[in-house]
Amino acid sequence: MKTWILFLITLKATITMGQNTNPLLCDPKTGVCETSQSNQKSERNLQNHSKKIEIIYYTDPICSSCWGIEPQLRKLKLEYGNEIVINYHMGGLLSDWSYNSGGISKPSDVAHHWDEVSPYYDMPIDGDIWLENPLDSSYPPSIAFKAAQLQDNDKAVIFLRELREMVFLEKKNITQWEHIATAAQQAGLDISKLKSDYENQGRKEFQKDLELARKIGIRGFPTVIFISGNKQEIVYGARPYALFEMAVLKLLPDATKQEYHKDWKSLFNYYPSLTAREFTELSGMPRKDSEQLLNDLTQQGILSKLETKNGAIWKIK
């Protein structure tokens, strides 16, 4: 609690917001999706509260800029997983369509925007979902994520990844329970419990996230707050990996960077689905060589490839 009090005031001063923002109009230059309100698979276990740095990550399932920093966050977990614990919070990017700002007033307006930011982040995003099966809110998948956290934090993170792949690549409306349930099954969650928590405690937990966001002045995503003792660093928006690493080292100069295997087999063991941008970030290979290798492994029948008009994702078979 003392840690929160220490940065409540400074956070508001650090994060500056523009006026007349639109929650789905994510600015590629700043790498931020701002709100319009005023106020089988496995990843490494990060829920170890003996870690030296706590990370408060404010995000949203349909935040394109948040999808844009998946490569950086995945690398951060591999290199500094022994030093950090990441706590995911939902920010409520889109409550409904009862507004008109930033040139976006209806779902179809988002389609072109998503297609524009996809090459900027070099992450596959298909905006056609907003033409074919548009979402009316990001609240349902956000509540579902909070419900998943009540079961298992690590599985909840996998669940969130599944939801993001569904909405950004598969053009699935993740406000619909059938898709939420499928993502939950893929993440190894108890679907019956998830449904119960989704209708009850999950909503309360989501409201807590929204209230905390208002209290500390969070109005844009991604917002990543690094905290160690009385010190904090903030990475706001989609930024290069070096800034995330710098935040860790400023707070903990003697942090130990973990070496990890960078061959394709090991990387797909860490993360069973990877985009070319993610593979490039994690392997250190040139972007062109990364995609060529992934395509070669696909032709060999080792990987499966889901291709969209704006890029692809590969999964281990």
Residue 9: is its pLDDT beyond 80? no
Q: Does residue 216 lie within any of the structural domains?
A: yes
* Domain enclosing residue 219, as ranges: 46-145+206-259
Same domain, 280 and 297: yes
Average pLDDT over residues 130-157: 98
Same domain, 122 and 69: yes
Same domain, 103 and 52: yes
Alpha-carbon distance of 279 to 267, in angstroms, equals: 8
**Quick one: pLDDT at residue 103?**
66
**Quick one: pLDDT at residue 35?**
63
Alpha-carbon distance of 254 to 53, in angstroms, equals: 12
Same domain, 246 and 295: no
**Quick one: pLDDT at residue 98?**
82
Look at residue 28 and give its three-state secondary structure: coil
Run of H or E residues at 40: none
Alpha-carbon distance of 18 to 29, in angstroms, equals: 13
Q: How many domains is the chain partitioned into structurally?
A: 2
**Quick one: pLDDT at residue 106?**
86
pLDDT single digits (tens) 13-47: 444 333 345 666 677 767 777 664 433 333 433 33
**Quick one: pLDDT at residue 123?**
98
Same domain, 253 and 266: no
pLDDT single digits (tens) 36-90: 443 333 343 333 345 799 999 999 999 999 999 999 999 999 999 999 999 999 9
Average pLDDT over residues 240-261: 97
Residue 316: is its pLDDT beyond 80? yes
Same domain, 131 and 225: yes
**Quick one: pLDDT at residue 3?**
43
pLDDT single digits (tens) 117-138: 999 999 999 999 999 999 999 9
Run of H or E residues at 33: strand 33-34
Same domain, 66 and 122: yes
**Quick one: pLDDT at residue 247?**
98
**Quick one: pLDDT at residue 104?**
72
Q: Higher model confidence: residue 227 or residue 6?
A: 227
pLDDT single digits (tens) 258-297: 999 999 999 999 999 999 999 999 999 999 999 999 999 9
Same domain, 306 and 215: no
Contacts of 198 (CB under 8 A, 6+ apart): 143, 144, 147, 180
Alpha-carbon distance of 61 to 91, in angstroms, equals: 9
Q: Does residue 201 lie within any of the structural domains?
A: no
Same domain, 249 and 268: no
Q: Does residue 217 lie within any of the structural domains?
A: yes
Alpha-carbon distance of 309 to 34, in angstroms, equals: 26
Amino acid at 40: Q
Look at residue 280 and give its three-state secondary structure: helix
Q: Does residue 57 lie within any of the structural domains?
A: yes
Q: Does residue 231 lie within any of the structural domains?
A: yes
Same domain, 68 and 126: yes
CATH of the domain at 52: 3.40.30.10
Say what the pTM is: 0.88
Q: Does residue 309 lie within any of the structural domains?
A: yes
Same domain, 311 and 210: no
Q: Does residue 171 lie within any of the structural domains?
A: no
Please state, as a whole number, how many other Cβ atoms lie within 10 Å of the Cβ of residue 11: 19
Residue 11's φ and ψ, nearest 5 degrees, are -65, -45
Same domain, 303 and 237: no
Q: Does residue 18 lie within any of the structural domains?
A: no
